[in-house]
Chain A
Amino acid sequence: GESVGLHLPTLSVQEGDNSIINCAYSNSASDYFIWYKQESGKGPQFIIDIRSNMDKRQGQRVTVLLNKTVKHLSLQIAATQPGDSAVYFCAETSTPYSGGGADGLTFGKGTHLIIQP
């Protein structure tokens, strides 16, 4: 079946630098994308989402970019802090707006973000 995948399993950045985590998706029917952060021993925590009719969305220190042409999603974290260390997952789904919404989220494999002091 179609799946969401991540390009890099581990990303190491210096504290204070910006981090960019990438994700490729293949299901063209997906119309909603979400980034989750998972810290050790915890469940996935929502970071930011974006609908397919948008190409950029900003939150607090995070920005998600969506390129539907190449089916690529990225998460940018500004001024990375030690507390940002975690595994980051992208996920996709089809929402009720596109006739979906009942298939669960399809997750990528995850990228482990490591912050160097």
Chain B
Amino acid sequence: DSGVTQTPKHLITATGQRVTLRCSPRSGDLSVYWYQQSLDQGLQFLIQYYNGEERAKGNILERFSAQQFPDLHSELNLSSLELGDSALYFCASSATWATHEAFFGQGTRLTVV
């Protein structure tokens, strides 16, 4: 168990809808990272937050947004969902803003139908 908690584990929704994925980092970790894992694109970095502020952006679509709250949990919001957004979404956390020290959660499997 990495100590990173993601909810829900599974999510099925229709195209055009909006969903929110939640991540609770390991106790004491200030950074949260979001990654998307799909069959065709593999694991891709989406966005990083450090102590409530956005620190780095990767391949995140404009339809997607994230935030980190004062209690350091994070939410990834996916809107206007398309079939191609079906994927595993992972959250990782680290104590600092150093990416290489991150630990991953179990992921949320999103299926868009």
Contact = CB atoms under 8 A, between A and B. Distances in A.
A103 B90 contact: no
A102 to B, nearest CB: 4
Given A102-B48, A102-B55, A103-B58, A44 B43 contact: yes
A105 B45 CA distance: 6
Contact of B43 (A41, A89, A95, A103): A89
A103 B104 contact: no
Nearest to A108: B42
Most chain B CB within 10 A, of A46, A104, A110, is at A104
**Chain A interface size range:** 20 to 34
Interface of B is mostly: strand
B106 A43 contact: yes
A106 interface: yes
Contact of B33 (A32, A104, A106): A104
B90 A43 contact: yes
Interface in B66-102: 90, 92, 97-100, 102
Interface of B: 2, 4, 33, 35, 42-46, 48, 55-56, 58, 90, 92, 97-100, 102-107
B99 A104 contact: yes
Interface of A: 32, 34, 36, 41-46, 49, 89, 91, 93, 95-96, 101-110
Contacts of A108: 42
Contact of A44 (B45, B48, B58, B90): B90
Contacts of B98: 95-96, 101
B43 A107 contact: yes
Most chain B CB within 10 A, of A36, A44, A110, is at A44
A103 B99 contact: yes
B97 A101 contact: yes
B11 to A, nearest CB: 15
B56 A104 contact: yes
